[in-house]
């Protein structure tokens, strides 16, 4: 991570943990908005902003899906890092079909953070929404970036879908909170638990969340209301990684995904939409997760699983 702008640490996949061995995720550092929502003048312009992502990363892929759903590909360029974290964090290698950083000439993602703030302290995470005009980070919190894409680009959007409709906002926020705690972050808490008790507790919550989703989807197409919302994006990014990474590497193996038929049908429904399907690079997901040495010292990437929905 960066401390006062210096890269100080070999990457530690086990981030902070509390006194019970539970994994704790850091909070994001750049939280600006764009257009009328911006207090500091980040104007709504086509071609000005760049979205840096990793296809391994569920948080980054939320923003990619939102970008596609809103029809903003023409206005915001995307650059992709190598899915395998290095001692210096995310790298631009050009391997596995990823990008070199032709925008900033960076070799590592942390260079963008120190360019934005020479004294930055924190992890150099993806996603990052970058402003080419000022040479700085607008925002590095995926939940904010989804909101920015949903509502800050005004007439530039080519699809008027509203991912956070006002009438559903309370239900969306409630579902998001539950999904984040028990599912999106729950799988990480199971995978990175450093005590049996912390793992047992986390893995149970993960499967409780799957049961809850299966119930919600028994008579509904979407998790909230009768339209696609941000909540469906959040569910999807964890579901699509479930069998590729979390079931094996994170030991989320109480039951197979096929034990949740409504969830499976929902996953297939989402995958039928290009915005969702195009955000999935199974090779990146496997290469990235299985390169976490603390969980997989040999670095061997498994051959399977063969999935009929991919
Ligand atoms: N709060 C962030 C979390 C993003 C995050 O944790 N990204 C991970 C990849 S999945 C990352 O970049 N980790 C690198 C590190 O922690 O050094 C968000 O949702 O945008």
Q: Residues with catalytic annotation?
A: 57, 188
Residue 150 and residue 29 share a domain: yes
Distance of alpha carbon 262 from alpha carbon 220, whole angstroms: 9
* Residue 104 belongs to domain spanning: 2-156
Taking a C-beta distance cutoff of 8 angstroms, is the pair 242, 226 a contact?
no
Q: In the chain, count H helices and then E strands.
A: 10, 6
Which residue would you say has higher pLDDT here, 10 or 180? Answer: 180
CA 140 to ligand 1: nearest atom? 20
Distance of alpha carbon 199 from alpha carbon 194, whole angstroms: 8
Phi, psi of 269 (to 5 degrees): -60, -45
* Count of domains forming the chain: 2
- 161 lies in a domain? no
pLDDT band at 20 (very low <50, low <70, confident <90, very high): confident
Distance of alpha carbon 6 from alpha carbon 21, whole angstroms: 28
Average pLDDT over residues 255-270: 98
- 186 lies in a domain? yes
- 287 lies in a domain? no
Ligand 1 cavity residues, CB under 6 Å = 28, 57, 59, 89, 123, 125-127, 141-142
Bridge partner list, 91: 108
Q: In terms of DSSP bridges, do strands 49-53 and 77-80 run parallel, antiparallel, or are they unpaired?
A: parallel
CATH number reported for the structural domain that contains residue 74 in this entry:
3.40.30.10
Please report where in the chains the tokens 């150099």 appear, as a residue.
124
Residue 215 and residue 175 share a domain: yes
Residue 41 CA, ligand 1 centroid: distance in Å = 26
At 23, is the secondary structure helix, strand, or coil?
strand
Ligand 1, atom 2, lies closest to the CA of: 141
| Residue 57: pLDDT over 50 | yes
| Residue 25: pLDDT over 70 | no
Residue 22 and residue 106 share a domain: yes
Give the pLDDT of residue 138: 98
pLDDT band at 94 (very low <50, low <70, confident <90, very high): very high
Residue 144 and residue 183 share a domain: no
- 291 lies in a domain? no
Radius of gyration of the chain from its Cα atoms, rounded to whole angstroms: 19
Average pLDDT over residues 126-139: 98
- What lies within 8 Å, CB to CB, of 210 at 6+ separation is 183, 255, 257, 260, 263
Last residue of a domain, one of 135, 156, 177: 156
Runs of H (alpha helix) within the chain: 58-69, 109-116, 142-151, 169-179, 186-191, 196-216, 230-241, 261-271, 274-277, 282-289
Average pLDDT over residues 246-265: 98
DSSP designation for 174: H
Residue 26 and residue 135 share a domain: yes
pLDDT band at 186 (very low <50, low <70, confident <90, very high): very high
Residue 142 and residue 22 share a domain: yes
Residue 206 and residue 118 share a domain: no
Residue 186 and residue 66 share a domain: no
Last residue of a domain, one of 156, 190, 223: 156
State how far the alpha carbon of 51 is from the alpha carbons of 54, 182, 220, 268, 272, in Å.
10, 27, 33, 27, 24
Residue 178 and residue 118 share a domain: no
| Residue 13: pLDDT over 60 | no
pLDDT band at 4 (very low <50, low <70, confident <90, very high): confident
Give the pLDDT of residue 10: 58
Last residue of a domain, one of 134, 156, 178: 156
- 194 lies in a domain? yes
Taking a C-beta distance cutoff of 8 angstroms, is the pair 195, 114 a contact?
no
- What lies within 8 Å, CB to CB, of 60 at 6+ separation is 53, 54, 126, 127, 142
CA 15 to ligand 1: nearest atom? 16
Residue 69 CA, ligand 1 centroid: distance in Å = 22
Ligand 1, atom 9, lies closest to the CA of: 57
CATH number reported for the structural domain that contains residue 273 in this entry:
1.20.1050.10
Give the pLDDT of residue 14: 47
Residue 147 and residue 16 share a domain: yes
Residue 17 and residue 150 share a domain: yes
CA 25 to ligand 1: nearest atom? 6
Mean residue pLDDT of the chain comes to 95
- 286 lies in a domain? no
- 304 lies in a domain? no
Which has the minimum average pLDDT: 34-38, 56-60, 201-205, 269-273?
Answer: 34-38
- 260 lies in a domain? yes
Residue 245 CA, ligand 1 centroid: distance in Å = 16
Supply the pTM of this predicted model.
0.94
Residue 221 and residue 141 share a domain: no
């Amino acid at each position: 991570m960066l401390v006062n702008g210096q890269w100080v640490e070999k990457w530690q996949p086990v981030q902070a943990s509390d006194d019970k061995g539970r994994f704790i995720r850091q909070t994001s550092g750049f939280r600006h908005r764009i257009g009328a929502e911006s207090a500091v003048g980040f104007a709504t312009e086509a071609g000005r902003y760049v979205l840096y992502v990793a296809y391994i990363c569920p948080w980054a892929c939320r923003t990619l899906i939102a970008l596609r759903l809103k029809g903003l590909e023409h206005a915001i360029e995307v650059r992709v890092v190598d899915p395998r974290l290095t001692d210096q964090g995310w790298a631009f290698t050009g391997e596995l079909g990823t990008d070199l950083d032709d925008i900033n000439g960076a070799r590592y993602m942390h260079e963008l953070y120190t360019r934005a703030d020479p004294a930055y302290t924190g992890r150099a995470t993806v996603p990052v929404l970058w402003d080419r005009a000022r040479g700085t980070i607008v925002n590095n919190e995926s939940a904010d970036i989804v909101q920015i894409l949903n509502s800050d680009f005004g007439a530039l959007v080519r699809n008027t879908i509203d991912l956070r409709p006002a009438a559903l906002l309370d239900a969306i926020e409630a579902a998001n909170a539950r999904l984040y705690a028990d599912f999106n972050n729950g799988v990480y808490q199971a995978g990175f638990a450093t005590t049996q008790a912390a793992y047992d507790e986390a893995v149970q919550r993960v499967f409780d969340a799957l049961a809850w989703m299966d119930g919600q989807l028994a008579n509904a197409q979407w998790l909230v209301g009768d339209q696609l919302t941000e909540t469906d994006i959040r569910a999807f990014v964890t579901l699509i990684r479930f069998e590729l990474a979390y079931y094996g590497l994170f030991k989320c193996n109480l039951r197979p995904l096929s034990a949740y038929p409504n969830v499976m049908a929902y996953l297939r429904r989402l995958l039928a939409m290009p915005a969702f399907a195009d955000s999935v690079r199974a090779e990146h997901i496997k290469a990235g997760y299985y390169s976490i040495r603390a969980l997989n010292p040999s670095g061997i990437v498994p051959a399977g699983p063969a999935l009929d929905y991919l």
